[in-house]
């Protein structure tokens, strides 16, 4: 499980596998560093990615990458699984308000 804190009002609580799927879906080159990869191993246990405490430019890049990762992941899941589609759409909406 990982908690991604965008700001005081918006958070994700997601399984490590969901986080990994989103990260794998982020386009190459969208981030120049390993900001998201740093949180892969902690996400498999219990991790915290607090964007709200990062410098604004870095937090914005990470949030934008997460939005793009979720968007791309949405394209690969079975669209008839409305519960999963709704779940990913809500993740994207929460993250997009920050990006």
**Residue 84 vs residue 2, higher pLDDT:** 84
Assess contact for 95 and 68: CB atoms under 8 A: no
Residues 6+ apart with CB under 8 A from 53: 5
pLDDT tens column, 39-72: 666 556 667 788 889 899 989 998 999 999 999 9
pTM (predicted TM-score): 0.66
pLDDT score for 19: 84
């Amino acid at each position: 499980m990982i908690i991604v804190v965008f700001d005081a009002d918006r958070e994700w609580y997601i399984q490590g596998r969901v986080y990994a799927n989103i990260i794998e879906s982020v386009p190459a080159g969208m981030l120049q560093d390993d900001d998201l990869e740093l949180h892969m191993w902690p996400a498999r246990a219990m991790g915290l990615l607090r964007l709200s405490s990062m410098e604004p430019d870095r937090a914005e890049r990470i949030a934008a990458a997460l939005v793009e990762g979720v968007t791309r992941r949405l394209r690969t899941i079975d669209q008839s699984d409305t519960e999963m589609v709704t779940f990913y759409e809500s993740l994207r909406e929460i993250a997009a308000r920050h990006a």
